[in-house]
Amino acid sequence: MCGRTACTLAPDELKRACSYRNRRGQRRQPRWRDGDADNYRPSYNKNPQSMSPVLLSRRHFDKDAPVDKCVLASMRWGLVPSWFKESDPSKMQYSTSNCRSENILQKKSYKDPMLKGQRCVILADGFYEWQKVEKGKQPFFIYFPQTQPGPSQEERKNSDSESGGEAAGEWTGWRLLTMAGVFDCWTPPGGGEPLYSYSVITVNASPNLQSIHDRMPAILDGEEEVRQWLDFGEVKSLEALKLLQSKNILTFHPVSSFVNNTRNNSPECLQPVDLNSKKEPKSTASSKMMASWLSSSSPSKRKEFHTSESKEEQESKPQNQRKSAGGLQQWLQGTNKKPRTK
């Protein structure tokens, strides 16, 4: 299953992090759907009912757009079917945050969007999962192995994104987790603003994750799988379902039970812990990449996110939530570093 994620990139970073190639092999950078960049809030601890970033075909919003042109949107986690009759989504009697791949064509809530081509990619730094242990549950943070070095200051300085939403260079920062999902659009019966929402599709856990949990999100590995999942014009529903496989490609590390409380939203949620000593564990290749990337720069928008709370809200938090948490906090709070431009 997937019940909690982290997505900490600023809106402009997300655009660069999920640049893509269209059918002609041209690299493009997706634009945000109008107003959705303002609805997205970076977070170390996202839970169902919150707004999260997704990537999808622009054709869903503009019938004249090429089907292989992508757009970023902010959607509610927890699919609300278009046929839902109540006036309040919270009145739904069942959870739709996850959708089992085995049942996707059996349950109307998911079958209708799937057959209509309403496929999306949920973006995240990674997701959390809880392992049952003798004294409760141990949380883990699970993500793509990070092997590329972060962009140097010179690379960031010389980055030259083209106009019109196109991207000239490859993203060299944190590799976002790309999870397969389906979405729907619900309009309140009495009228009002349409609500776009999604469900994360899950599959059986890969061998290296089975000791943590028996389910995992359906991971789309690489640009080509993402392209096929989103291109509902070229790749029909039954063909797209073949992409939903258990893939033994993710890495993970244990984190503190601090993340258990959804109100906790700070770098401490991601900080690796040693299960024996509760101190920082020995670095792995991926955790070194995480530390390097997170301490390499602090875009102004990420700083704005951190300081957007009122002084009263910050002072009301426990002291341990305001303390530094190593490289993650340095990445968040760096005040003398230039915004990433790549």
According to the model, what pLDDT value does residue 308 have? 35
Q: 138 is written with which tokens? A: 């141990």
Are residues 321 and 266 in contact, defined by beta-carbon separation less than 8 angstroms?
yes
What domains sit in the chain, N to C, each tagged with a CATH number? Answer: 4-128+180-246 (3.90.1680.10)
% residues pLDDT > 90 (the chain): 61
Beta-carbon contacts of 71 under 8 Å, excluding residues fewer than 6 positions away, are 30, 31, 32, 33, 55, 56, 57, 58, 61
CA distance 235 to 240: 6
Strands 70-77 and 195-204: parallel
Are residues 181 and 200 in contact, defined by beta-carbon separation less than 8 angstroms?
yes
CA distance 76 to 54: 10
What dihedral angle (degrees, nearest 10) is formed by the CA atoms of 278, 283, 288, 290?
A: -30
- φ and ψ at residue 141, rounded to 5 degrees: -105, 130
Report helix, strand or coil for 213.
coil
pLDDT digits (tens, 9 = 90+) for 25-57: 888 899 999 989 999 999 999 999 999 999 999
Residues recognised as catalytic:
2, 129
Distance from first CA to last CA of the chain, Å, rounded? 33
Which residues are bridge partners to 185 per DSSP? Answer: 196
Residue-wise pLDDT tens for the chain (342 aa)?
678 999 999 999 999 999 988 888 888 899 999 989 999 999 999 999 999 999 999 999 999 998 889 999 999 999 999 999 988 888 888 899 999 999 999 999 999 999 999 999 999 999 999 999 888 999 999 999 987 544 443 444 344 333 344 444 578 889 999 999 999 999 998 888 999 999 999 999 999 999 999 999 999 999 999 999 999 989 999 999 999 999 999 999 999 999 999 999 999 999 999 888 644 445 566 555 665 655 554 443 443 333 333 333 334 333 333 332 333 333 334 323 233 333
User: How does the average pLDDT of the chain come out, rounded?
Assistant: 80
Closest among 58, 80, 62, 54 to 186, alpha carbons compared: 80
Which residues are bridge partners to 326 per DSSP? Answer: none
DSSP state of 258: G
- Kindly state the helix (H) or strand (E) to which residue 98 belongs, with its residue range: strand 98-100
